[in-house]
Amino acid sequence: MTAEDRRRIAEGLAAGLTYAEIARRLGRSRSTITREIARNGGPHGYRAARAQHATSWRARRRKRAPHADVSHPIDNRDVRTAREFEEQFVSMMIETGMAPMTARVFAALFISEAGSLTSAELVQHLHVSPATISHAIKWLTQREMVTRQREARRMRYFVDVDVWYHTWATSARAMTIWADTTRHGAGIFGTDTPTGDRLHTTSQFFELLGHDMGQAAEHWRQALSMRRQR
């Protein structure tokens, strides 16, 4: 696949075309287009220049080690270092409130080369059952941290490049719900009562926090959009 092909794939995705339509326009099979997008960031994270660079890099690695697994570093020391960082990444997420297995699944996806893995690859990597993977993925997709897409008879999961925008925006919406509910409670009890005053103060806190979080998320979205246009 050429750099021009990849540019047209990126344009097709941006225009909302289906994989089948993109394949027809390029004179390629749908399975070829599906594999190309899946290996290079998924439907929301695919970038032509990045895909071209990644493909060239994988080709160079195959020449150096024809039987190596391109999803992981070749050198044993690099494998060990990557594993150590993955464990550190998992520990950080657990410490900040994520369930252990959910953290392991997310870390495996996030650190993978393409930011995507199939259910079978996750099972093999984490040595757990498909049901365990499915449970963790359900939690992650509900919070827009992971997207999924069926490829023939298997399911592939993606960490979108906008993952932190989505999760932060979700948190900001949660702050709004807290603010609205506690404000309503303050009106019921009256701000001249201890309960009402406590609820009123709480609503002010979450209203300010939600506003600031919303602004921060929008600032990041604009910054990311500008970076993509370069």
Token duo for residue 47? 């970038």
| 175 vs 161: CA distance, rounded Å | 24
| Structure token digits, residue 79 | 């494998």
**Average of per-residue pLDDT values in the chain:** 83
Helix axes 30-39, 3-14, angle to 10 degrees: 90
Report the C-alpha gap between 34 and 46 in whole angstroms: 11
Which parts of the chain fold into alpha helices (H)?
3-14, 19-26, 30-39, 42-45, 48-64, 76-95, 100-111, 119-126, 130-142, 163-189, 194-229
pLDDT at position 223: 78
Distance between CA atoms of residues 51 and 40, nearest Å: 5
Q: How far apart are CA 115 and CA 213, in angstroms?
A: 26
CA angle 22, 137, 120 (to 5 degrees): 70
> 64-73, 115-124, 157-166: which has the highest mean pLDDT?
115-124
Q: What's the distance, Cα to Cα, between the start and end of the chain in Å?
A: 23
Q: What confidence tens digit (pLDDT) does each residue in 58-100 have?
A: 565 555 544 444 444 444 557 778 888 899 999 999 998 999 9
